[in-house]
Amino acid sequence: MTTIMEKTIKIGLCSDHAGYELKSILEGYLEANNYEFVDFGTNSADSCDYPDFAHPCAQAVEKGEVDLGIGICGSGNGIAMTLNKHQGIRAAICWKPELAALARQHNDANVLVLPARFISPVEGIDIAETFLNTGFEGGRHINRVNKIPVK
């Protein structure tokens, strides 16, 4: 297993049909780099509904069964909206590595969302790698992040 910030992490993956190919490519990257992951589906490019896979992934992140998540759909919007319905989730749509770094550093994002129809597989890997290797800065950002959940 890969360690980030000296902590072993486990990643949850979810996608719909539009994100299936990129999810499969990311699984290869994760395996090659010794990451442990759980695939919540989908398992084909057949048309399906992203909430069916996003909700179980979000629940696993909330329960601590996985440390971080990666969700993928065509635009990123639908799966991000679904993931963010969960109080313990801070899902960020990222189409550049810089956005992934800021989502982790400033927002303590715990789920990366990739828009599969708008990025290449190489870009997807670069964005995921940045997300997985960037930590939360804390400091002035802690108070803001603590205000995100509805109480």
Could you give the residue numbers annotated as active site? Answer: 73, 106
For 14-44, give one letter per residue: b (16+ CB within 10 A) or e: bbbbbbbebbbbbbeebeeeebebebbbbee
SS3 letters across 14-64: EECHHHHHHHHHHHHHHHHCCCEEEECCCCCCCCCCCHHHHHHHHHHHHHC
Distance from C-alpha of 92 to C-alpha of 48, rounded to nearest angstrom: 22
